[in-house]
Structure 1
């Protein structure tokens, strides 16, 4: 009989490319993973890993076993979800990823409600950009991710994931002190296309959206500085170093001298949750989605 945890260790090595990376994901030592794989080799009578330079590679037998392990682990996850659904109570552990403004403006209230209403549910949160969190949900390292995309630049929805809408979040523009258009009641983003910009970190959803949107106005973006956190971006705007897009979700205090103007036409991003189809019946997933939709801040 194949041991499930040993299959999980092999699958993690195949997914993440090394024993040490698998150990990090599984929250165990590299020695523990190596021991699991050695036991699996004895169990199967097959060599599963071979040296490849400083790393390892999977043998043909291991590749075959990994294919079966994917199906087995998926079935186990589905069985666990069905059992929780049959029990009808919100229990167990839920791993959650969310982007920074959602962590600040949406998650604390939702997790507080879950803690009060479902004390037998343990939730573990990680702050991650959607480009990071969605692959982790696909691979099973996260149960759910709170992600965002924009009306003019939707995120692809990977096969095997379901999604549930949470809210629409309107974005304004933050102008630095003394900006010549700061006296306007509203402004078009096209009018600011040639400005220097304070953007989110490179490789993030918001950075990619800003660059592609400005290029749509036939202007090559002038990204002056990059910072992931909105308070840091606003501090740079207040120093006169550029303008920034400011979503209303999770908005912090605006520094003196910074002007916030609504955009026309409005720029809106969608905030939604994603989870694997295998876990859709888990009461914990449904409870988390309900908590995220309840008591939303005014946007």
Structure 2
């Protein structure tokens, strides 16, 4: 049986649809369908059946998909061993990272990877942790840069390895005419009566903000939400509220906004890399982590 066709079947099982598999494999839906048709001819079994407007795996399809998962894992181990024996980073490395890491960490990191490891071809996708963690588990990407908060860990599934890259401090952003704008440091309890600019409801960072403020006896008044920190800062600059803004990838602070540290400086995000344990020996993984950590240390300094 053809390995690429087994990989395609496994992708359909992981994503639950032909279109999802096509997106994960970076091919067309037609290409996925063709590969599956050829695999059915090779095996002499029907692997997919219609299910409403979509498809589902037959019993034979699920059985073969389970075998494909083990086969592909073994191939990953073989590739890791071969790359490790070669002793230097080569080939393609698929990366995912949350937006402020893409902006604040990766421009310098990718430049260094290209200079120090010319045979390594890194390809980066912007992804939130709730997308990138499953993508690593599925094998759609090789390494993800993710985050959690000092008081709200991000669950990491079994079978993944992680390495700390940096701790990202946060400040309270407020309009320049706010009563606390000239302070050297503030505490969340200072803002019990303020309106907040937050991340959208349901997201990991929104949940963290709610847990943190409510843990201090504050029921926050969330007036506006925005995903991008620059958008939050633009709203804050017009006097529409205050917000908690991490430093990584923050960019220029608009006129009319003051950034005041939280005291004590314990409010922070932990930024780290994750990858599959069966790829742990790959020099390309190790090289990427080393570069990311080195760049992160300079940002912290």
Q: CA deviation at 1:13?
A: 0.9
Alignment-derived partner of residue 293 in structure 1: 293
CA RMSD of aligned residues (A): 1.4
Q: CA deviation at 1:6?
A: 1.0
**TM-score normalized by structure 1?**
0.95
The count of residues paired between Structure 1 and Structure 2 equals 298
Q: CA deviation at 1:44?
A: 1.3
Kindly indicate whether the alpha-carbon contact (under 8 Å) linking 1:129 and 1:205 is maintained by their aligned counterparts in 2. Answer: no
Query: Partners of 1:37 and 1:64 in 2: how far apart?
Result: 15
Kindly indicate whether the alpha-carbon contact (under 8 Å) linking 1:230 and 1:252 is maintained by their aligned counterparts in 2. Answer: no
Query: Partners of 1:38 and 1:149 in 2: how far apart?
Result: 42
Query: Partners of 1:77 and 1:168 in 2: how far apart?
Result: 31
Paired residues for 1:56-95 under 5 Å: 56-95=55-94
**Structure 1 portions without partners, runs of 5+:** none
Q: CA deviation at 1:134?
A: 0.9
Mapped pair 1:257 → 2:256: yes
Kindly indicate whether the alpha-carbon contact (under 8 Å) linking 2:167 and 2:300 is maintained by their aligned counterparts in 1. Answer: no
Q: CA deviation at 1:195?
A: 2.1
Per-residue deviation, residues 258-293 of structure 1 (Å, max 9, x unmatched): 111111132011111000001111111000011111
Alignment-derived partner of residue 238 in structure 2: 239
Query: Partners of 2:130 and 2:188 in 1: how far apart?
Result: 25
**Structure 2 portions without partners, runs of 5+:** none
Q: Relative to 1, partners in 2 of residues 1:101 and 1:239: Cα closer, same or farther, differing over 3 Å? A: same
Alignment-derived partner of residue 150 in structure 2: 151
Kindly indicate whether the alpha-carbon contact (under 8 Å) linking 1:129 and 1:204 is maintained by their aligned counterparts in 2. Answer: no
Alignment-derived partner of residue 186 in structure 1: 185
**TM-score normalized by structure 2?**
0.95
